[in-house]
A and B are shown apart, each in its own frame.
Chain A
Amino acid sequence: MSTTVSQIDEVKTTPWAGGHSPFKVEYGKLMMWFFLLSDAFTFSTLLISYGALRFSSPSWPAPDLVFQSVPLTSITHGAPLVFVGIMTFILIASSVTMVLAVEAGHRMARKEVVMWMILTVIGGFMFLGCQALEWTHLHEEGFWWGHIPSHEELKHFFHDEKLVNPVYTQQFANLFFTITGFHGFHVFSGVIINIVITINVLLGTYEKRGSYLMIEKVGLYWHFVDLVWVFVFTFFYLV
């Protein structure tokens, strides 16, 4: 092999010439981004199907009448958005504790990483608990996959009695449980992954590796779950 640098070798210093990742991120992190992109497509198809079915329906159960109770309290009427507001805030807050864990990881502050990760896991469990209460409440009212309340009961979920329609209500119930269920499954997976990573931090795995990059990768996933919830919240509870 010749030691002189030929012109062809010099050309290979540009980002797209090979040898280095043009994205300047570690392989696993790049793959997490691609996975999240594919997951974004999956959630989009679910939410867009919901939108298409709802657009094409002449009537739809009114969100402020369906979601107006606060489980675990005596409030059963007239408090729309309160409970889901709490859920949204819990998830945003757990996203913040996750960024703080990443930030602590950059400073190699192991104890701080552990603290923020544990808070993130607690936030995840709180959200899942709220989700379970919300589902239980709707299930007790008669909503489920393939089940809706009786016609008499349905009048409470529409602003105008003439608009009451069991077909569109059933579509609403199926879509609500499918989409929030798929999102809840993501939150559950995220919590499990966060617990595994926290145990690894406690064992000193990343300290030995010299980098807390793994926290960033699970952080990306956790923020994505928060991102999806922002859309679910808007399209099921506000619009």
Chain B
Amino acid sequence: MSLETTHDIHGGHDDHGDHEGMTRKKILVVLGILTAITAVEFIIALYLVPHHVMGMTLHIANPIYIILTLAKAFYIVAYFMHLKFEKVSLIYTMVLPILFIIGLILVLTNESHYWVDVLRPGK
């Protein structure tokens, strides 16, 4: 079978049975979730941190921001980009290389501590 024929088969409209996954209602639910998460971030940044409500400081708020951001990223990739409804092989092909990014984060945060301690002593 030539590659061209393969494309035709997969490019055809009949191949989209899986796309039942996103209905208009689900799209609006995801919009609601993304807006709600952003609203929570705003409440933390504009109210909780400036007024130190429940002892909230940037040291506590920053990890919360990052977790909420990752949650938003999950909803965008899984539902808007439809990855949740793709083949498992495609999901792993796209998600596993993110480990390299985590690796770089670990390496460079470690390195930046070194810059503070060694390159700028006395700070």
Q: Are A239 and B35 in contact (CB under 8 A)?
A: no
A26 CB contacts on chain B under 8 angstroms: 7, 10-11, 15
Q: Are A53 and B6 in contact (CB under 8 A)?
A: no
A 34-77 to B, binary, CB cutoff 8 A, 1 in contact else 0: 00010011001100110111011010000010000000000000
B9 CB contacts on chain A under 8 angstroms: 20
Q: How far is the CB of B66 from chain A (nearest CB, A)?
A: 7
**A231 vs B61: C-alpha distance when bound (angstroms):** 15
A 204-236 to B, binary, CB cutoff 8 A, 1 in contact else 0: 000000110100100110011011001100100
Q: Are A37 and B97 in contact (CB under 8 A)?
A: yes
B116 CB contacts on chain A under 8 angstroms: 55-56, 58
A227 CB contacts on chain B under 8 angstroms: 73, 76-77, 81
B 1-35 to A, binary, CB cutoff 8 A, 1 in contact else 0: 10100110111110110010011100110110011
A 1-34 to B, binary, CB cutoff 8 A, 1 in contact else 0: 0000000000000010001111111110010010
Tell me if A195 counts as interface (CB < 8 A to partner B).
no
Q: How far is the CB of A152 from chain B (nearest CB, A)?
A: 23
Chain B, range 97-123, C-beta contacts under 8 Å to A: 97-98, 100-101, 104-105, 108-109, 111-113, 115-116, 119-120, 123
Tell me if A197 counts as interface (CB < 8 A to partner B).
no
Contact of A211 among B12, B62, B97 (CB under 8 A): B12
A-B interface pairs (CB < 8 A), number = 154
A51 CB contacts on chain B under 8 angstroms: 105, 108-109, 112
Q: Are A27 and B7 in contact (CB under 8 A)?
A: yes
Chain A, range 77-131, C-beta contacts under 8 Å to B: 80-81, 85, 88-89, 92-93, 95-96, 98-100, 102-103, 106, 108
Closest chain B residue to A213, Cβ basis: B11
Q: Are B109 and A81 in contact (CB under 8 A)?
A: no
Q: How far is the CB of A76 from chain B (nearest CB, A)?
A: 17
A231 CB contacts on chain B under 8 angstroms: 69, 73
- Chain B residues at the A interface, C-beta cutoff of 8 Å: 1, 3, 6-7, 9-13, 15-16, 19, 22-24, 27-28, 30-31, 34-35, 38, 41-42, 45-46, 58, 61-62, 65-66, 68-69, 72-73, 76-77, 79-82, 86-87, 89-90, 93-94, 97-98, 100-101, 104-105, 108-109, 111-113, 115-116, 119-120, 123
